[in-house]
Amino acid sequence: MSEGSTRRPSVRPRKRLGQHFLRDGNIIRKIVSQVTPPPGAQVVEIGPGVGALTGLLLERFPDLIAIEVDERSVAELIVAYPSLDVRHADVLTVDWRTFVADGRALYVVGNLPYNITTPILFSLIDDAPGVVEAVLMMQLEVAKRLVAKPRTKDYGILSVATQLAATPTLLFKVSRNVFEPKPAVESALVRISFNRRPEPQPDEVDSRFVRKVIRQAFNQRRKTLRNSVAVLIPADRALPERWSASRAEELEPREFVELARFLTP
């Protein structure tokens, strides 16, 4: 067992940072075992905190990079793991291009701060083209939304945006009892395998407009699309019947791309 999974750090979790430190060695090993990059890939850990996962990750990936916003944790990590490349930064402001300057594929792992889980997910989808796969701990309710199917209560903006960019898989649930402090919710580990393509395709719709259509549709999810996206329908067109009488929750992710293509001015 790595030192990183058993040592008792001096840093206490900060509520304002949404910190919940993992304390169960079995769960830690189970999480790390799910990180399976090919040779030559770069592994990046988001929010290592005091290094619950870091020790085992560093044993497998000697050039591991860790992104940590808490200066107390950064100081402790530097002492505990002298060979670790620690970046003192807010993950929501990092330029992901700096991690792929040499063209290496990025594999991300992390126990995400619960208060910024969704912004981190959108950052990986929108601003991290080098990330091929992410293995992430998050709230169970968010994990369910990522993998939700149409016509279910969990299906929404995050479901569609994620499934258009990637294949999300809920790997296993994690009890609140393995964290310090215990969060108010249950957690889950999710694998997100991104559908990265080197070049945009000729028939692709602007991704920002697709996202606008998705948000507009789900912001009034109980209305039919005829009404919920009315402000986006060009004056010279009528919404086809296959969409006009449907609600946002009934459309498959790819149908939103088709809808956006039709609505593009």
Domain ranges, ordered by start, for the chain: 3-194, 207-263
Residue of 4, 23, 7 whose CA lies nearest to 181: 23
For CA atoms 60, 64, 69, 71, give the dihedral sign. positive
pLDDT tens for the chain, 265 residues long, are 344 444 455 655 555 545 566 778 899 999 999 999 999 999 999 989 888 899 999 999 999 999 998 888 899 899 999 999 999 999 999 998 888 777 789 999 998 888 899 999 999 999 888 899 999 999 999 999 999 999 999 999 999 999 999 999 999 999 888 887 677 789 999 999 998 765 555 567 888 999 999 999 999 989 999 999 999 999 999 999 999 999 999 999 999 999 999 999 8
N-to-C CA span, the chain:
58
Measured CA distances, 107 to 41, 57, 118, 136, 204 (Å): 7, 12, 18, 11, 26
| Contact call for residues 123 and 91 (beta carbons, < 8 A) | yes
The whole-model pTM stands at: 0.89
Bridge partners of 134, per DSSP, are: 108, 192
Task: Give the pLDDT of residue 201.
Answer: 58
Q: Which one is the CATH code of 207-263: 1.10.8.100, 3.90.1580.10, 3.90.280.10, 1.20.1250.20?
A: 1.10.8.100
- Exposed/middle/buried for residue 11 (C-beta within 10 Å: 0-12, 13-18, 19+): middle
Task: Give the pLDDT of residue 53.
Answer: 93
Task: Give the pLDDT of residue 17.
Answer: 47
Q: Tokens 């070049």 label which residue?
A: 199
What's the CATH number for 3-194?
A: 3.40.50.150
